[in-house]
Amino acid sequence: MATSFEEYCRDVFDPKKVFSKPEPLKGYRFLSMTQYILGPSAANYLAELGAEVIKIELPRRGEPMRHTTPFNEPLLYPLSKWLPDKGTGLGFFGANHNEYFLSVDFHKPEGQEIVKMLAAKSDGCVENYRAGTFDRWGIGYRQLSQINPRIIYQWLGGFGGWGPGRKRASYDILGQAQGGCFSVTGWPVKIPGYEGKFPIGLPSKHTIWIMDYWGGMMGAFQILAALYWRDNVSGVGDFFEYSQVQGAQRHLSDAIALYGRHGLVQQRWGNWDALLSVHGIIKCGKSSYPGSQFPAEAEEGFCLVSAHTDADYAKLMKAVGRDDLAKKYPTHDDRVKAENQPAIYEALEAWAKDKTKEQVEEFMHKNGINAQRVMNSKEVSTSEHFLQRGNVHWIDDPTFGDVFSQGPVFMASETPPRHKWAFKPVGADNEYVLSKLCGLSKAKIKELESQDVI
């Protein structure tokens, strides 16, 4: 008897079988000369697919991301053997899985020579320092490609290597700002006729580093394209740049085309969709965790409701007792107008004022309406759906023991990505990497360490 599609997927993507399957990038080696999230995540995605990725940080303290997140835990996650009383922040978890950790001072000639020796034996490298920094130090693409013509060099930064803004540093939030994302996220300055009923006036930052992680994925995608081109067409490497600002504006979807076609500037429109109605998030009236000391639990919940077809909208309005609104806005062209949407969402929030997000979600599902409660990090971490699929999971880390982490972002039936370890202290693999790939003796390694080169 044939299995169902769900049973087939459950079998071929079973997280318990991941480590018995081959790794698609096994045999490739990349250097990750990166910091923060944008560059590290690009290298991390390659490591999840089996590439040997060597993370190179400055000696002793490592890269800044180890120190820019809360709750450093020096006893559980020591920073390095040189600074055992200092910890690594939890934010470092997201973009450094499966990597080997080498510490090298890029500023010093001896450190630059180590980078060159490693580049000679690597397929590629990823870096995200300011544009031209590594070129100035003599370890950029122009120099490394002379040593290894097959090397693939992925640079990720704020504004690209050329153009008026190229010298500026960038972070996720700056990319969102200049790329235009803030202009369309958040609430409008005014909703005529509904003053005081909805939040107004401010753009909204994505608290998550969405431009960093998405940019890293684009960087990894470019590297995979370069590997194919090198190994099947050209025989030589490639130089890529990824601009965080350029990547951010790519998220604007139809806003750019709207301006080009009509000269219109898209505005912020809150938690509702400007193109579909009903298709937005409504505020519920009750907390799912009354009495909780955590603000994210104590607040009233929120729930996405999606009923944008005429049939679903009529069904929704009947279910919440507002047949009058079904008659007033019978077609989608009626509902999607900016002047009409507030009345619909006001009615939905009035209906939900005595309900939790779970109650709203359950009610909608029972009435055949698509809905999803807005989940917090605790609810995501304990979700049976995510746990079964390995989207969040425990890692038996060889250095730190049990640690909880997000899983890889996709699955594959034959060559799945995987997490072998979360990360390591600064310079944990110095002897392994430098002896194996650079042929350095223990005495030489000790000498370089005494000179603060590694």
| Angstrom distance (rounded) from CA 87 to CA 70 | 10
Spell out the residues 6+ positions from residue 8 whose beta carbon is closer than 8 angstroms to its own.
Answer: none
How confident is the model at residue 62, as a pLDDT?
A: 94
As a dihedral over the C-alpha atoms of residue 154, residue 160, residue 163, residue 166, rounded to 10 degrees, the angle is -120
Give DSSP secondary structure letters for 271-308.
TB-SSSSSEEEEE-SS-SSTT-SSHHHHSPPEEEEE--
| Angstrom distance (rounded) from CA 206 to CA 138 | 37
How confident is the model at residue 242, as a pLDDT?
A: 93
67, two tokens: 């120190």
How confident is the model at residue 394, as a pLDDT?
A: 95
- Give Cα 358 distance to the centre of its chain: 27
Q: Tell me the three state secondary structure of residue 371.
A: strand
Q: Give the closest residue to 59 by CA, choosing from 43, 81, 87, 38.
A: 81
User: Confidence class of residue 374 from pLDDT cuts 50, 70 and 90?
Assistant: very high
Q: Tell me the three state secondary structure of residue 352.
A: helix
Mean pLDDT along residues 90-119? 95
| Angstrom distance (rounded) from CA 156 to CA 218 | 10
Please check whether residue 155 is in contact with residue 141, taking contact to mean a CB–CB distance below 8 angstroms.
yes
Question: What's the count of helices (H) and strands (E) in the chain, helices before strands?
Answer: 19, 11
How confident is the model at residue 87, as a pLDDT?
A: 87
Residue 422 has pLDDT above 60, yes or no: yes
Residue 417 half-sphere exposure toward CB, CA atoms < 13 A? 18
Q: Tell me the three state secondary structure of residue 102.
A: strand
pLDDT in tens, 42-57: 999 999 999 999 999 9
pLDDT in tens, 308-364: 999 999 999 999 999 999 999 999 999 999 899 999 999 999 999 999 999 999 999
| Angstrom distance (rounded) from CA 35 to CA 106 | 13
Domains of the chain, CATH where assigned = 9-250+390-450 (3.40.50.10540), 270-379 (3.30.1540.10)
How confident is the model at residue 72, as a pLDDT?
A: 67
Residue 384 has pLDDT above 80, yes or no: yes
Write out the H or E segment, with its range, that includes residue 111.
Answer: helix 109-119
Spell out the residues 6+ positions from residue 295 whose beta carbon is closer than 8 angstroms to its own.
Answer: none
| Angstrom distance (rounded) from CA 340 to CA 331 | 12
Please check whether residue 424 is in contact with residue 399, taking contact to mean a CB–CB distance below 8 angstroms.
yes
Of 207 and 336, the one with more pLDDT: 336
How confident is the model at residue 1, as a pLDDT?
A: 56
Of 172 and 48, the one with more pLDDT: 48
Of 323 and 246, the one with more pLDDT: 323
96-100, 174-178, 317-321, 449-453: segment of lowest average pLDDT: 174-178
